[in-house]
Amino acid sequence: MDVMKLLKELQLEHEKLEERKSYKIISSLFDEGTFEQIDEFAKSNGENTNVTCGFGAVEGRPVYAFCQDIDASFGAVTKSHINKLRKTYALAEKSAAPLVCVYSSAGIKITEDEDIVYSIGELLFKNWELKDKIPIISIVSGPCYGLNALMANSSNILITTKDAKLSIDVADYNISYKSLEDNGTSHFTVDSEEDAINLSKKLLNVLPSNKNSKVPIGKIKEPKEEKGASILTAMNAISKERKYSIRSCVIEAIVDDESFMEFSELYGESLITGLAKLGGFTIGVIASNKLHNNGFTDEKACLKAAKFIKFCNSFSIPILNIIDSKGFKSLNGAVSIYSAYANAKIARINLVIGEAYGAMASLYASHFKGSDVTFAWPSASISPLPAEAMANIIFNEKLKSSNDPINERKSLIHNYKENLIGPKFAIKSGFIEGVITPLETRKKLYHYLELLLIKNN
């Protein structure tokens, strides 16, 4: 055997494979010079396999990845293709390292025998098994149908580009990225594969490598100065029952600058969910959004939040709940979110900034099942029922005998809000730990978060 000739042939083939779109996409994920391919020269019926697999470092931390190649035989899935994926999954599991998957394939190669369907099925179950052990991020940048779609959608985080076609129905060619946003399938939508890779890097930098490792601690980036004014604007709006943006006025004024990444922004909009940094620590954020659904929390929002809670619990990411809601709109929705919290063991901080009544008060303005600490703003209203309903029950007889029931009812409601459902009453009753001002919120939450992370570790 002419060893030098063989090495030269392999080098030429390596250089040719490096020109593939899938190689260029996946190698751009990793720190320069760290990417190593897995089964680089694997073939199927004499042709190179239409998927690039490998591992490397992202900000110095090990990560595994694969990218299907739609430009090579339409990314057709073969037995060799599956074997490369199987090995990549096995190594990611053994290394306890995150996995990034890029899907763009026309599907199974029709000349393959039926066994390939069962092989993909085995890989799908492995995907479900691993997603609670290591973070799995999927990117769909082209066609992705049938079992391939199930694989992509069974990850922890799903990113779609505007060219994504994701459906369990192999004949559903008209599906668009917009429908994937609207039905909550996609967590993030970006313009291009480059944007998807950059977002994956950002997500990997806030996620732990596996369920047993600590979340990475980054540099502290204080919010911009103007956010101090916006958070005061929010409290004034709450007090005067006016509309405000909880994301721009509250969330972004509390968390580290430019760190908030919102999940499924266009689905279940009455709750906002996302990952952020607070004082360099990774946190999950769940916040009421009164700009939607008339201030109530609907079923889709609850289902979104329940899924997000389970994800945070899998990787010991503490959660900050920011509450201002008129109540749950759906029984099934309330059950889903209560159940998710009941089974979670992560650190949890509640911040009631506005309304919290009934089941909402029980969940967020109390020490329900592992809730560690609860604070309230001066604008908070905490009660078994809204003030108007409570006034009707408590003062019913008095109002019946009143000469001016309309004005007296208004006065009674005002007094009830001031004395019996404000934060002063809640703190005296032991429902909350303290009343804090908007401007001291970030500092106070960071202090407690730092202490509570001992619980996770």
Architecture of the 226-380+422-456 domain: Alpha-Beta Complex (3.90)
Q: E strands, 247-399, where?
A: 261-263, 271-278, 281-288, 296-297, 319-323, 327-328, 348-352, 355-357, 373-376, 381-383
Cα separation of 296 and 275, whole Å? 23
Cα separation of 279 and 452, whole Å? 14
Assigned fold of 3-204: 2-enoyl-CoA Hydratase; Chain A, domain 1 (3.90.226)
- H-helix or E-strand containing 68? strand 61-68
**Above 70 in pLDDT, residue 367?**
no
CB environment 406-441: b (16+ within 10 A), e (fewer): eeebeebbeebbeebbbbebbbeeebbbebbebeeb
- CA angle at residue 274 from 270 to 279, to 5 degrees? 130
**Above 80 in pLDDT, residue 398?**
no
233 against 111, higher pLDDT: 233
Q: What is the pLDDT of residue 317?
A: 95
Q: What is the pLDDT of residue 436?
A: 93
Q: What is the pLDDT of residue 432?
A: 84
Cα separation of 165 and 34, whole Å? 31
Q: What is the pLDDT of residue 13?
A: 62
Q: E strands, 98-193, where?
A: 99-103, 136-140, 143-145, 157-161, 165-167, 188-190
Q: Which residue's structure tokens are 């299907």? A: 68
**Above 90 in pLDDT, residue 50?**
no
Map out the domains of the chain as residue ranges. Answer: 3-204, 226-380+422-456
On whether the pTM is more than 0.85, the answer is: yes
What pLDDT band is residue 383 in, cutting at 50, 70 and 90?
A: confident
Question: Hey, what are 430's tokens?
Answer: 């032991």
- Domain 3-204 identical in fold to domain 226-380+422-456: yes
Residues in the chain: 457
Average pLDDT of the chain, as a whole number: 86
Cα separation of 202 and 198, whole Å? 6
- Other CB atoms within a 10 A radius of the CB of residue 218 amount to 16
